[in-house]
Structures are given as C-alpha cells and as structure tokens.
Structure 1
C-alpha cells in the first residue's frame, strides 16, 4: 500500500498550474485568444483578453502557442511566464483591382432541416464544408456569412475561420491573415456578418467555414461558456474538427446512415 501511495503522489506532482502572459514580440502588447496546448496531449486553454492564461499541465512537457498572424511557438512549461510571439511577415503581391459589382447574389449551405440542436463543445474548431459548383463563377466573391447561435450573454465572442481545401480533402490554408472575431447578441438568433471588404473569392476546390468557441472569462456564465452554436442534421457523411493542433474527420455513424449534425452556417456569394 505504501508503495502504491508513493507512486500515486509522485505522478500527481508532475502536474502544475502554469501561469503566464502572451505578448507581441515587437509592440509588447498582450495577445488575446491564443490557442495554447500541451504538445501531443489533449490538454489546452486560450489566452484571455489581457493575454494571460492558466493551464493545468505536466510540468515536464512542452507547451504550444498558436494564433493566426503569428509564428507558432513551442516552449518548455518552465519557460512560459512571458511568451513573445513574432508576427508573421507576409510578402504582399502586386496590387490587383477587384471589379466587384454586387448586382447578383446567391445563398449557399441553406438549411433544409429547421430542427436545431446545441452542443456544449470544448475548446475546438468545427468546420462545415461548402463544395464548389460551376455556377459560382458568376458570383465568386464571399459577401456574407451567417451563423445560428443560442446565447445567454450579450457580449459572447467567437472566431470564424475560412479554409481552403488541402490535397487530402481536409481544411488547409486559411484565407485570412488575421483573426475574424465576432460578438453575438443574447437569444436564439441568426447572425449576419458582412465580408465584402475582405475580397474573399470562393476557391474552386471548395471551402471550409468554421467557428471556434472561446473558453474565456468574458464568455463564462456560471460554469458554462457562451454561446451555443446551433447544429442541424444534414445529409453528408463527414465534417472536420480541430483540437490541440490536429484536424480530425468526423464521419457518419454507419454507411447506411449518411447524415451528421453540422454547424448551422450559410454563405452569401455575389459578383
């Protein structure tokens, strides 16, 4: 018994409460909403608005810090009191004048099933796939994104992501170079966000649109985090989930049941 207790106490001692702050390496300003996780483990958190974070993790592991617009960084847990992330330098191509008319538009990803469900998902990104169709050549710009949510708070915040499709059919490179943050109103609402000024073209091999739920104090209500993104049943055999640095393909329960619950997201395309 004594030997068992010694081993148990020793294993527990490997876990520690890691506290720190993430900052921009150039400006010194705090960086909010950074994804932070233990390398090769399903343990993670997100930095708060002031850049601070707390993570319960093994003290002998490496911690990964990643956010759009900055270079990913991996540090030992003992080196994370102050984490400086280097902004990504983008080589700007020759300026192209985009001839947008916005005289035509079409909504895609329409929800044929109006029965919605809400899931209390953890710190993950869940993506809905939009296949490309030839007809989109006439309305090739992404004008608007809509998302259905159920929130008990007026100031709940989430990230929206837009991914190209990689060679394996999974979410690949992001279309944006900075985070697209949106604030949601209280209630069960269909939110619309205008993307016209971003000049996003619908990729010819399809597009993944995803949301990222942020487990931060601003979104906390009691013991739960807001908002709940609504899902609907769709005749599709997969969707993708990203957590702790890895994309996972979520497939239908069985071959004869080609349906899944996917995020209730739609897009409006224009010319």
Structure 2
C-alpha cells in the first residue's frame, strides 16, 4: 500500500513540475487569432499560437504569460487562469496617421548580394529560445532621396515545405535601438523547401525610412509545420539524442558588417551588433 501511494505521489509530482498549459486566443467577436506570440514574462521561453488560435506550452511552475499580436493590445495572464484568452483590437488614432505622397519617379537597390557567396546565416535551434533575427538599415544620402520601401529580397534554406516566417519592421531611436513596430499587421511569408530567393512586396504599407534608419526583422514562428526533428549522438554516450529546430535558416555571409541584431519577440534588444555575420538582404526603394 505504501509503495502504491509513493508511486501515485511521484506521478502527481512529475505532473505539477511539468504542467502542459493549453488554450485558445480569440478576439472580441470570439474569432480565433492566428500566430499570436506567447512567452513567459521576463524570460525567453515561449511559443506561437497555431492558425486556429490554439496553443500549448510546457511550464515547470506557475508563470505570467504575455500574449502579443500585431493590431491587438498586449495582455499578461497568470498561467493557471488560461482557457480562452481574449485580445482587444488597438484603437486606431487617426490624428497620428500621416500618409506622405510618393513621387515614384525613380528607384534604387541597396544591399545587392549578387555574386556574394552566402557562406553563413542565422537559424533557430534554441528550442525553447524564442527570438527575432534582424538587420539594421542605416540611412544615407541615397536612401534619403529614395526613402520608401518597395520590396525586400532574402535567401532561405529549409528542410521542410510549407514553412511560415513573419517579417517585422521596427522603428528605431537615435541610438539605433528598436522602439515599436512600423506595420501593425502580420507580414507572413510562405517558405519553400530547399534554398530559395524570397521577394516580399511592401509597397502597400507605405514604409518610409527615417533619418534614424529602420530595422528589418525575421521572426521564427514556433508552429508544428515549422518544426524539424533530428537525431544526434554525444561523444562518450550511448544511443542517439533527439533535437529540433524551427525552419527556415536565413542566409548571409561572413565576415560582414556589424548590422546583425538579436531581438526578443516584443522587439526589445537581447543583443545589439551581434558579431560580423550579415544577413543577405536586398531592398528596392523609391522616391
């Protein structure tokens, strides 16, 4: 009898130490919100809601969870109070919206990586480590004359098909640190398997690069469709271990400039000027 009680106690202890938190994120009209960012407050552990708004997260103890989606108010909830999480749409402040007229009489290309061997890049193999890889675009005289972003082009590598990647455009302050999202809606890119060039048309967002510059981010989504599982062996140990990564990789070159940034999902900097790996990012700009 004592052995049976001890066995049941151990099961309960394991369950409490690793609680599987599940729920769904919806808007005020009870409509599921896809691809919501969810992370533990003040930590790097987190996940992404699936297309139908559902999510699950393994936690060892009760934590505050942050729910963030472009176009919605951020919400912080205790992990024990989760079932249905309702996010409210941000109120649009029309008096702050200023649409500047474009000339569109000429355009330029910056960051052309044609002929450069893409021998490096960035990936997400951190498993529970959630982040955004980003590149700081510093303004100059050419950009000032052609400040509007028409499109961006970048190269990916993926071992899976039907992968999703989110593009984030951040405003920066005078020191080059990210402040807030320039675009308050999802820019999602479908990534094909293998090595591919990806061109994203940003014309409709009317993004103007200010004198402080701008940051282009590549956010990994912790979705089942993006999860790549693999096996590996550790020297001196028997058998193989299982690991996983979230696709795709973003190609770049080494050495490059000190323009690579590592950001948290809320856009706050985790590491600024992250070495001299440079993301291969081509941008078409117009006046």
Structure 1 length normalisation: TM-score?
A: 0.85
Q: Tell me if structure 1 keeps the 8 A contact 2:169–2:217.
A: yes
**Structure 1 residue 170 and structure 2 residue 169: aligned?**
no
TM alignment of 1:1-271, pairs within 5 A = 13-24=16-27, 26-93=28-95, 98-111=100-113, 113-121=116-124, 122=126, 123-222=130-229, 223-237=244-258, 239-243=260-264, 245=266, 246-251=268-273, 260-271=276-287
Is the Cα contact below 8 Å between 1:20 and 1:54 reproduced in 2? yes
Deviation readout 1:214-240 (Å, 9 max, x if unpaired): 120222344443222212225433532
Q: Deviations over 1:18-40 (max 9, x none)?
A: 0111111x221111111111112
Shift of the 195–99 alpha-carbon distance from structure 1 to 2, 3 Å rule, reads same
Taking the aligned partners of 1:135 and 1:65, their CA distance within structure 2 comes to 39
Q: CA deviation at 1:94?
A: 7.7
How many residues of Structure 1 are paired with residues of Structure 2 in the alignment?
Answer: 258
Summarize the Cα distance change of 1:235–1:229 in structure 2 as closer, same or farther, 3 Å threshold.
closer
CA RMSD of aligned residues (A): 2.6
Task: Give the deviation of 1:177 after TM superposition.
Answer: 1.2
**Per-residue CA shift, 1:63-93, capped at 9, x if unaligned?**
1111211111111111111110111112113
Work out whether residues 151 and 285 of structure 2, in 8 Å CA contact, stay in contact via their aligned partners in 1.
Answer: yes
The unaligned stretches of length 5 or more in structure 2 are 1-8, 230-243
**CA-CA distance at 1:101 after TM superposition:** 3.9
SS at match of 1:49: coil
